[in-house]
Chain A
C-alpha cells in the first residue's frame, strides 16, 4: 500500500499546497505588501490588483513553461548536438543521418497515408453516423455505442483488433473474424462480386470523390471567382497541398484497381493480416478510425442540430431530395466544424504511438514517426536522431498550431 499512501499524500500536499499558495499569497499581497489602508490605500489597492493576476497564473505558467515550452527548445537543441561527443554542436548532422535511413522514409510515407486516410474516414463515418442517428428515436443509444471506443485505451483497442486479425493454421478453426470471413470466400461468383467488383466500385467512388475535391479546392484559385474576398497566400498553399494529397490518393486508388482486377487472390488460405505490407498499415488505421469516428460523430451531430431549421424547410419546399438537402444545404453550413474535427484528428494521428507499438512495433513496414522516435530515443539511445524526428513531428503540427492561434485571436477581437 506504500504507493497508494504516497498518492494520497500527494493529493493532500498537492491540492493543499496549491490552495494554500493561492490563499496566503493573496493575503500577503493585501495585508503586508500593499495594505488597503493608511495614506496610500487607493494606490495600494491598484498595485495589488495589478499583481494579483500573476499570482493566480504563476503555477500554471511555470508548469506550462517547464513541461511544454522549454522542451520544444531543448529538443531543438538536442537535435543539433551529438550526445556521444559530450553534447557538442554538430549542425544538421543528425538530420542528414536520419534522412539517409530507409526506416525514416518508410515512417514518413506511412505517416502521410495515416494523415490522409484516418481523418478522412473518421470524419466521413462520423458525418454519416451523425446524420443517420439524428433522424431516429433510439439515436441516443446508437450514438453512445458508436462513441464508446473513445473510452478504450489504444492498447486495449490493439488487443481487441489483434483478436479480429488473429490467424490459425489452415487445418484449424479460425478464431479471428477477418480470417473466418475470408475463408468463406471460395473463388466463385459470390467471391468475385464481393472481393473484386464491389471493392473496385468503392475505390473508384473514392477516387471520384477525390477528383471532386481537387475540383472544389482549385476552382477559386483558377480564377472563376476572382475578387471574391481577400485570399491569403497561405490559403493558396493549403489548397495546393490538399490538391496534391487528393491527386496522390487518386493515383493510389487507380493503382489498387489495376492491381486488384487481375490478381489471383489466395482463396482458402488463412492470411496473417499484420504481415502483408501496405495492407497491414491499413489494418492499423482501421483501429484508429474505429476510435475516432465517435468523436467526429458527437461534434458533427451537435453542429447539424445547430443548423437553422428555416434553411432546411426552404429546401424541402423547393423540392430538394434528402441527398441534396444533406450535401448542398447541411454540409456547407457545418464546413467550419468539419475542418475543426479534421484537424483535431490529424493531431491525434501525428502522435499515434500506442497502436503501432502494441500491434506490430513497426515491423513489416508499418513504422510511423512517433514509434520511430521512441525506437531511436529509448532502444538505440540515439538522442540526436530521436530529437530530430521529434522536431519533424513538431514541424508537421506547426501549420495547425498557427491556424488555431490565428483563429483564437480573430475570435477574441
Chain B
C-alpha cells in the first residue's frame, strides 16, 4: 500500500493536509475551553480566546486614578502608573466613556479648573491641580493599549479552593469520585464470575442466557428510572450513594458480562482442561487461571465503566441527588452553573475543565485498553 501511494505524491500531500484540517477542527472547541479557563473574566468577555495567544490591542475598562498627592512647586500632583505590568503600550486614551480614544500618549490635557492630566505610553500618569484634591473624585482613564498574552491560575484557585465559593467544584469532585470507584469495581467482580460460567461451564439454557445478555445490552436505562426509584424508596434506600452504586452496577453488567465472556471464550482450552484433570475446582481455575489471563478485558471494561459513571448525569440526577444538594456530582454542578452563571465563562470553562481533566488523563493513559474493549464490544 505504502509503496504505491508514495508514488502519487500530490495525493499524499492532500491526505496529510486533510488530516491536519480534520484534527484541527476536532481539537478546536476543546482547546478553546482550555485556553479560556486560564483567562480572566475581563479578557474572556472582551476578546475571543483565539486572540489570547497574541499580543493584542484593545480597550481596557476604565481605571480610576488613585494615589497620594504631593505638593510640588505650588501645584498639587498625583502620579503613578495605571498598570502593574510594564509590558503594556498605550496608543490612545481618554477621560470619558463617550470619547475613550480622545488623546494621544504624553498629551497634556486640561480637565478644567486648572487641572491637567497626562498619560505616557507605558501607563505612567501625572495629574496636577492648583488646589488640593481633598476628597473629590479623581478622574477615570480609558485606555486603548496593546498588551502581551496574559494567563492566570486564579480561576482554578477560585473554583477548587475558595472556601467562600458556594458553587465550587471541590465537593462535587469528591462526590463524583465516591460514586465512581465502587460503581466501577463491584460490577467487574460480579460479571467476571458470570462470564466464566457462560464461557466455560456447561449447563442447559446457556446460549439462551447469552442471548438475553446481548438483548439487555441495548435496553435504554430510561425505562428503569421510575420503577427502580420506587423500589429504592420502598426498601428504604431512598436517594443516596447506595442507590446510585446499585443502579450503576445493574446498568453496567450486560456490557461487562458480554465483554468478559467474549474474551474468556478465546482463552486456550488446553490450560483449563489440564487444570481440571489435575483436580482443580472451578473456583480455583477461575481465580488462579482465568482472572489473571483476562486482565486486558477487565481493564477495558473498567475504563468504560469509569468513563461512563464519571460522565453520567441522568442516573445521578434520579438516584443520588436529593433536595439538600449535599451529594451533587460535577456534571450536575456544571448544568446548574450553565443556568446561574451562563455568562461567566471563566467559571464555566474552569469548572468544565476540572470535570473533563480526569477522564482525559485516563483516556490518554489507557487508550490501548479502551480501543481493545471497543473492538471486542461491537465488532461481531
Q: Which residues of A contact B (CB under 8 A)?
A: 3-4, 6-7, 10-11, 14-15, 18-19, 22-23, 26, 30, 50, 52-54, 56-57, 59-61, 63-64, 66-72, 74-75, 78, 125, 128-129, 132-133, 135-136, 139, 142, 144-156, 158-164, 166, 172-177, 180, 290, 293-295, 298-299, 302-303, 309, 312, 316, 322, 337, 340-341, 344, 347, 350-351, 353-354, 357-358, 370, 373-374, 377-378, 383, 386-387, 390-391, 393-394, 397, 400-401, 404-405, 407-409, 411-412
Question: B151 on the interface (CB 8 Å rule)?
Answer: no
Chain B interface, DSSP helix/strand/loop, else mixed = helix
Q: Compute how far the CA of A59 lies from the CA of B194 in the bound complex, rounded to whole angstroms.
A: 8
- Tell me if A56 and B196 are in contact (CB < 8 A): yes
Q: Given A155-B311, A180-B48, is A69 in contact with B216 using a C-beta cutoff of 8 Å?
A: yes
| B153 on the A face (CB < 8 A) | no
Bound-complex Cα distance A394 to B186 (A) = 27
Complex Cα spacing A70 to B348, Å: 39
Picked from B33, B228, B241, the residue with its CB within 8 Å of the CB of A159 is B33
Contact partner, B338, options A152, A162, A295, Cβ 8 Å: A162
Pick from A59, A166, A407: contact of B380, CB below 8 A: A407
Chain A residue at minimal CB-CB distance from B4 = A316
Contact B33 A387 (CB under 8 A): no
Q: Is the CB of B314 within 8 A of A67?
A: no
Q: Which residues of A contact B5 (CB under 8 A)?
A: 135, 322
Inter-chain CA distance A164–B12, complex, in Å, is 32
CA distance A173 to B48 in the complex (A): 7
**In the complex the two chains form, is B379's CB within 8 Å of A299's CB?**
yes
* Residue B334, interface by CB 8 Å: yes
Q: Which of B4-19 contact A (CB under 8 A)?
A: 4-5, 8, 11-12, 15-16, 18-19
Residues of B within 8 A of A155 (CB): 311, 313, 331, 334-335, 352, 355
A405–B218 CA distance with the chains assembled, in angstroms: 10
The docked-state distance in angstroms from the alpha carbon of A402 to that of B219 is 11
Which of B79-87, B140-148, B293-301, B360-368 lies on the face that meets chain A? B360-368
Asked if A358 contacts B338 (CB within 8 A), the reply is: yes
> Which chain B residue has the least Cβ–Cβ distance from A374?
B314
Q: Give the nearest-CB partner of B5 in chain A.
A: A135
| Residue of chain B at shortest CB distance from A155 | B331
B27 is an interface residue with CB less than 8 A from chain A: yes
Report the interface size class on chain B: 35 or more
Closest residue to B219 on the A side, CB-wise? A68
Cβ contact within 8 Å between B193 and A59? yes
On whether the beta carbons of B182 and A393 are closer than 8 Å, the reply is: no
Q: Establish whether residues B253 and A60, one from each chain, have CB atoms under 8 Å apart when the complex forms.
A: yes
- Residue of B29, B182, B185, B231 most packed against chain A (CB within 10 A): B29
Cβ of B307 within 8 Å of any chain A Cβ, yes or no, is: yes
A-chain residues with CB within 8 Å of residue B212 when the two chains form the complex: 64
A351 touches B220 (CB 8 A): yes
Do B30 and A152 touch across chains, with their CB atoms under 8 A apart?
yes
Q: A155-B331, A160-B352 are in contact. Are A412 and B190 (CB under 8 A)?
A: no
Residue numbers in B under 8 Å from A142 (CB-CB): 19, 22-23
Which residues, 332 to 380 on B, are CB-close (under 8 Å) to A? 334-335, 338, 345, 348-349, 351-352, 355-356, 359-360, 362-364, 367, 370-371, 374-375, 378-380
Check A408 against B380 for contact (C-beta < 8 Å). Answer: yes
B28 in contact with A177 (CB, 8 Å): yes
8 A-B residue pairings within 8 Å (CB atoms): A7-B181, A19-B189, A56-B196, A68-B216, A146-B26, A149-B26, A155-B331, A159-B338
| CA–CA, A40 and B167, complex, Å | 68
**Is B271 close to A, CB under 8 A?**
no
In the bound complex, what is the Cα–Cα distance between A409 and B212 (angstroms)? 10
Taking a contact as CB atoms under 8 Å apart, the answer to whether A70 and B227 are in contact is: yes
Q: Write out the residue numbers on chain B whose beta carbons fall within 8 Å of the beta carbon of A174.
A: 48
Within B127-177, the residues touching A (CB, 8 Å) are 174-175, 177
- B219 touches which one: A54, A158, A299, A401 (CB < 8 A)? A401
Contact string against A for B residues 50-71, beta-carbon threshold 8 Å, 1 for contact and 0 otherwise: 1000000010000000000000
Nearest 9 A-B pairs (CB), nearest first? A67-B250, A153-B311, A74-B227, A60-B194, A151-B363, A56-B197, A71-B224, A159-B352, A53-B203
The answer, yes or no, to whether B124 is at the interface (CB within 8 Å) is no
Any A CB within 8 A of the CB of B109: no
Known: A6-B178, A132-B22. A177 touches B32 (CB 8 A): yes
Q: Which residues of A contact B30 (CB under 8 A)?
A: 148-149, 152, 160
Of the candidates A75, A354, A397, the one whose C-beta lies within 8 Å of that of B313 is A354
